Amino acid sequence: MLIAACGGNGEGLDANGRPLVPGDGGSPPPLSADFDAIQANIFTPICSVCHVGGSAPMGLRLDAANSFNLLVGVPSTEVPSLLRVKPGDPDNSYIIQKLEGHQAVGQQMPFGCPTTQPCLTTSTIAFIRQWITNGAPPSATAATAATVHAAAPLAITSIVPDDVEPVSASPPQIMIAFNHDLDVTQIDSRSMHIERLDPGAPPMAGEIVPARVTVSSANLRALMVWPSRPLSAGHYRLVINAGSPSQFSDIAGHSLSVGVPNELGESVISTFDIEVLP
């Protein structure tokens, strides 16, 4: 999951595996068992050295904009029977197994631990454990913003992968994040597919890959689209099947129409590119 092979160098850790805290005015909040502090002290300075952008291992981006939605309630890519973060159950959360070094697949994280850089200390990991034990609640900043902007229109806040930066391998899932909790009763698990586009003007679908749509009960703001098979290099688009509604609704009943029509009149939600690196 977290953290498959990548080129991290231990930046963000002292010699004892504790997060470094800069001494200037831009210091993060003290490390504690809440998501804001964990993001600022661990995920951003340590994990996102590798887990960021199109080359993020296993498609897991641990930058502040995407980490919560790609962790909480999301199955691990390496061991799909385990969630990356299972709220209330740190022992069965794959992130804990990877950080503590008793994972079933791959190596302990951060990458290079314990040979070329320090591992996180038990006391540091304990803050992540406690956050998960507490139910893995979202950022306090995000929760406050959600309360203030509860009346704001339903909107998409991010999509991973997107059309900005190509990804270097087949994404295990496509994540669509919203600003409100979704009404899952309105979501069809088989309502989308992925198309690989043949070059040309206009581009036409050369391969159609079925997909499965899920929303975790642990995070109702993140919709996951799972390709039925790995995707090869090429240009892709995520499409809502013909006959399926192109609207999403939140739990308050507000709706959002998504996508732009393709040549068949189906709604295209997003596009992305896969580039196989040499």
Span 166-199, pLDDT tens digits: 999 999 999 999 999 999 998 999 999 999 998 8
What pLDDT, on a 0 to 100 scale, did the predictor assign at position 261? Answer: 85
The segments of the chain whose pLDDT lies below 70 read 1-28, 141-151, 201, 277-278
Q: Is 177 helix (H, G, I), strand (E, B) or coil?
A: strand
Distance CA 31, CA 263 (A): 51
Judge whether 133 and 90 are in contact, CB under 8 Å.
yes
pLDDT confidence of residue 16: 46
| pLDDT value of residue 1 | 36
The whole-angstrom separation of Cα 135 and Cα 130 is 9
The H-or-E segment that residue 234 falls in is strand 234-240
H-helix segments, 106-226: 122-133, 140-148
- Region of 69 on the Ramachandran plot (φ > 0 left; ψ -120 to 50 alpha; else beta): alpha
Count other Cβ atoms within 10 Å, centred on residue 76: 25
Cβ-contact 181, 221 below 8 angstroms: yes
Query: Hey, what are 87's tokens?
Result: 């709220």
Name beta bridge partners: 234. Answer: 274
- DSSP letter for 60, please: -
Structural domains of the chain, ranges and CATH numbers in brackets: 35-143 (no CATH), 153-274 (2.60.40.1220)
Cβ 20 vs Cβ 41: under 8 Å: no
* CA 163 – CA 26 distance, rounded (Å): 31
Torsion of the alpha carbons at 12, 17, 22 and 28, rounded to the nearest 10: 80
DSSP run (H or E) holding 131 = helix 122-133
Q: What pLDDT sits at residue 19? A: 59
Q: Give me the pLDDT at residue 18, please.
A: 56
pLDDT at 38: 96
Q: What pLDDT is stored for residue 20 in this prediction? A: 56
Question: Which DSSP category does 40 fall into?
Answer: I
